[in-house]
Structure 1
Amino acid sequence: MLIHPWDAPHDEAEWRDWLALHDFGELAVNGLSGEPPYVQPLHFAYDPGHGPHGEVITHLARPNPLWPALEADPEVLLSVVDDYVYIPGPWAAAAGVRPEHGVPTSLYSAVQLRCTAIVVDDAVQKADLLNRQVGHFQAAGLTAPAAEGEAPHGRLLPGIRGLRLEVREVRAKFKYANQKPQEVQDRIVTGLAERAGTRDAAARAHQLRRRGE
């Protein structure tokens, strides 16, 4: 992922705060020899308090075909992208440039976590991981906790494998046209407010936040 200086996070807190509100991404696992990578969409829970860059916990079904590749090479990448919008060419046209000559672009937030994967098969540890992940998404008491050998979820534990992803490196990008001339930025801010499409408000908020407004 190319990250220009103007798209880099202002500090570590920026990407951590954004990631705390985003818990669905794609896990990329190196394929076995001669095979393309596996890319698995999944929900996850990020724990910033584990290690220097945090830890991700998740789980997948035991029949998932990526397990042999993951066990052969546990170095993986978790990619999370959101708050993305399309910017029409006229919005991005600089002063003196005809609107139809403006260059369209995309704005988005992205965090990539390079991790070492640890497979969790122990039933007790797996139940604990599953309960932690569920606890991230919903209030206590909405779902009975998982426990080895206990109803209602104990019988389901053999059908999944847990994953702990120890984060080794973080690459983050907040691409919101902050390198553009002020008049172009203002036109984009106005355009997003008027269009009011899916994710437009979030992208507009990022653009304003990153330029200190």
Structure 2
Amino acid sequence: MLVHPWDAPADEAEWQDWLAAHDFGQLAVNGLGDAPPFVQPLHFAYDAARREAVTHLARPNPLWNAIEAHPRVTLSVVGDHAFIPGPWHAPEGTPPEHGTPTSYYAAVQLLCVAHLVDDPQEKANLLHRQLARFQPRGDHALVVPGQAPFGRMLPGIRGLRLEVTDVRAKFKFGGNKPRETQWRVTGLLAERGGPGDDAARTRQLRRLGQRG
């Protein structure tokens, strides 16, 4: 992923705060031999203090052999995206139709080393970490190996602990354009009000505020 200086996060807190609100992504794993890469959509729980993400998948999933052969993987998360029509970015004094269309989006890629989790108790602990993220009210039974209701299901899954070794983050919201153009786009996004426009506008306004 190409990250221009104007698209880079202002600091580590920017991408961490964004990622804290986005817990669904795609895990990319190198394929075996001539096979194409595996791309697996999944929910995950990211732990900033431990610098790792945890998740689980069904045991029959075909990507396990690929992970064992190539444990270096990428967890990709994208959001706050919106299409920006060319006229919105047209420079002052030029025909609107000469403007260049583009995409706005936020993206965080976690480069990881994957660790498989097969021990029943370790899998239960991993599931509790995910449940703490997705059901924080605690409205669920405990996962105990060999005990109902979930213990009998543990053999059907494998846990996955993703040790983060590097992070690539990008916030592409017109940071290379004149400030008056950026402010104009925030108004046009509000006026259009399409899917994703409010999230993109909110992120762009935050970026404008960060840059003073």
Is residue 66 of structure 2 the alignment partner of residue 69 of structure 1? yes
Deviations 1:139-197 (A, max 9, x none): 33311121101100000000000000000000000000021012321221111010112
Identity of aligned residues (%): 64
Please list every run of 5 or more consecutive structure 2 residues that lacks an aligned counterpart in the other structure: none
The CA deviation string for residues 102-150 of structure 1, in whole angstroms up to 9 with x for no partner, is 1110000000000000000000000110111011011333111211011
Equivalent residue in structure 1 for 2:149, among 148, 152, 158: 152
What are structure 1's unaligned runs of at least 5 residues?
none
Q: Confirm or deny: 8 A CA contact 2:132 2:138 kept in the other structure.
A: no
Amino acid in the other structure paired with 2:156: G
Query: Residues of 1 paired with 2:148 and 2:183: CA distance?
Result: 58
Further displaced range: 81-90 or 95-104 = 95-104
Give how far 1:36 is off: 0.7
Partner residue of 1:120?
Answer: 117
State whether residues 31 and 66 of structure 2, in contact with CA within 8 Å, keep that contact through their aligned partners in structure 1. yes
How many residue pairs end up in the alignment? 210
Secondary structure of the residue aligned to 2:124 is helix
Out of 184, 196, 199, the position equivalent to 1:199 is 196
Tell me the alpha carbon deviations over residues 59-110 of structure 1, each in whole angstroms, 9 at most, x when there is no partner. Answer: 0000000000100110000000000000011111011111111111000000
Q: For 1:22, what is the secondary structure of its paired residue?
A: coil
In structure 2, distance between residues paired with 1:188 and 1:130: 43
Letter in 2 for 1:130: L
Letter in 2 for 1:23: D
Runs of 4+ in structure 1 off by over 3 angstroms are none
* TM-score (ref. length: structure 1): 0.96
| Alignment of 1:20 onto 2:20 | yes
Matched with 2:208 is 211
Identify the match of residue 79 of structure 1 among 76, 84, 106: 76
Name the counterpart of 1:47. 47
Give the corresponding residue for 1:138: 135
Deviation at 1:202, TM superposition (A): 1.4
- Matches of 2:126 and 2:203 in 1, distance apart? 33
Per the alignment, residue 37 of structure 1 pairs with 37
Q: Does 1:172 align with 2:169?
A: yes
With 183-192 and 56-65 compared, the bigger mean Cα shift is at 183-192
TM-score (norm 2): 0.97
Cα RMSD of the aligned pairs, angstroms, is: 0.9
SS at 1:113 equivalent: strand
The alignment partner of 1:171 has SS state of strand
2:105 to 103, 108, 123: 108
CA contact (8 A) 2:27 2:73 kept: yes
d(CA) in 2 for partners of 1:186, 1:168: 36
